[in-house]
Amino acid sequence: MHWQRPSNLDHWHGATPDTAMTRPVPAVTRNGPGVVWEEKATDGPCRGGARKPVEERTMDTNTRLSKKQQAMIPIAAFTASGDLEKLKPAMHEGLDAGLTVNEIKEIPTHLYAYAGFPRALNGLGAFMTVLDERRAGGITDEIGRDAAPLPTGTSSLELGEEVQTKIVGRPVAGPLYDFAPAMDRFLKSHLFGELFGRDVLDYQDREIATLSALSNMDGVEPQLKAHFGLSLNVGLTEGQIRELLSILGAKVDRQKGLNAEEAFREVLQEKGDNRKGDNEVKTLIVFFSHSGNTRRFARVIQEMTGGDIAEIQPVEPYPGDYDAVVRQAKRELGAGFKPPIRTLGEDIGRYGTVFLGSPNWWSTIAPPLQAFLSGYDLSGKTIIPFITHGGGGAGRSFAEIAALCPNSTVLEGLAVFGGPGRDNRDEASAWLARFGIVP
């Protein structure tokens, strides 16, 4: 993560001894008529209970794949192709590289949704043989932890819809799913709920396994291209994906590796062409506003940048009374609660630069913006934060946003004094000029 420290970060106006600001990363659940993101109790500042949401992994954009991730590639590829004689040595190498027994078992289990039950079951059978051979040779391998239970009170379909929305960046619908609604239900409940919802492997590792498998299968280029996009969404870098394809070509099949590299090049080309030819949707301003001050300043930014704008709306609106809002905000922030919010109408994946705006509530960002950042993946994007306040400055708001966007480039934020009749245009112009956004 690249973070430029704002000059007013040390201003902690509004902090109180009994207001401990916690930042648990939530496991999301579905609530209300649309896809919403709801906080659950957690056991630490970077984990959602025992589960691993996509935000947990913080990875520098220059980091290579780990040895364990590299070892997953041939295991997944040979599982998908059914080449058991090559799969067994790959599994030996995976255990030697540090993969646990449960992590390797999870690869064919995950791939049943892509390669089918027969090859998944054959892969598990091959692994049983490998473990028997190693035990006979006096090798004791680490079993590793099992999957945590799925969230209680949430069906696999509900969980799957939310996981799918988070990974894709928007709710998924279309004519194919209208034509075959059962397939839509199976994808959500089985693939994204039962499989992606299991935390033995995180989202990035599951995408590594999926890319490796699809790259070694024939006739699945549309799905392969789609998963290149999803892999970027969950935080894998272009360099890491290229490394994956290089390993695939060296250890699995040279031609399959070259074919996958060409497909990835086409995906990157398409993304580049879309951004170059659609300047009006390059920038998005996302904000939460209660009194209207943040909304007014967000519209000033929109006028100056020509970007799109999207307002975060809680499912349950906050009360209009000032004192009631102050009390509710204190309770929510103290408990780490992130209120359910309505799904944005914008496809986050289309934007390279995202402005994030919030009022200063108790020296940090308002819970609805925290809910947004916990529910949407902004990896690889440039984040520009802004805060409106009544005299307290930014407080810890910019540090909070940077912490919740670990795989983004977070630029210096701006805190503006809000109020009726203020549009803060001069401040906005000078601020945006520093980034070259306006002259």
Which tens digit of pLDDT belongs to each residue from 167-196? 888 888 889 888 999 999 999 998 998 899
Q: Which residues pair with 387 in a beta bridge?
A: 358, 415
What's the mean pLDDT in 413-424? 81
Write the pLDDT tens digit of every residue in 36-69: 333 333 333 222 333 333 333 333 333 578 999 9
Could you give the 3-state DSSP secondary structure of residue 252? coil
Say what percent of the chain tops pLDDT 90.
49
Q: How confident is the model at residue 438 (pLDDT cuts 50, 70, 90)?
A: low
CA distance 63 to 98: 18
Comparing 29-38, 62-71, 266-275, 348-357, the range with the smallest average pLDDT is 29-38
User: Looking at residue 56, what is its pLDDT?
Assistant: 34
pLDDT of 20 strictly over 70: no
Ordered by start, the domain boundaries in the chain are 2-49+279-434, 67-276
Q: Which residues pair with 309 in a beta bridge?
A: 285
Of 341 and 438, the one with more pLDDT: 341
What's the mean pLDDT in 293-309? 91
CA distance 268 to 172: 21
Helix ranges (H only) for 235-389 are 238-251, 254-276, 293-305, 322-335, 367-375
User: Looking at residue 268, what is its pLDDT?
Assistant: 86
Separation of CA 412 from chain center: 22
Pick one of 3.40.50.360, 3.40.50.2300, 3.30.460.10, 3.40.50.410 as the CATH number of 2-49+279-434.
Answer: 3.40.50.360
**Tokens for 219?**
């006739």
Of 165 and 271, the one with more pLDDT: 165
User: Looking at residue 439, what is its pLDDT?
Assistant: 57
Based on its alpha-carbon atoms, the radius of gyration of the chain, rounded to whole angstroms, reads 23
What's the mean pLDDT in 326-337? 92
Reported as type and span, the H/E element at residue 222 is helix 221-233
**Tokens for 32?**
């209300």
Of 332 and 170, the one with more pLDDT: 332
Average pLDDT score over the chain: 81
Cβ proximity of 116 and 124 under 8 Å:
no
Of 418 and 196, the one with more pLDDT: 196
Pick one of 3.40.50.880, 1.20.1290.10, 1.10.3720.10, 1.10.1060.10 as the CATH number of 67-276.
Answer: 1.20.1290.10
What's this model's pTM, rounded to 2 decimal places?
Answer: 0.52
DSSP 325: H
What's the mean pLDDT in 6-15? 33
Name the residue among 327, 396, 328, 335 with its Cα closest to residue 360.
396
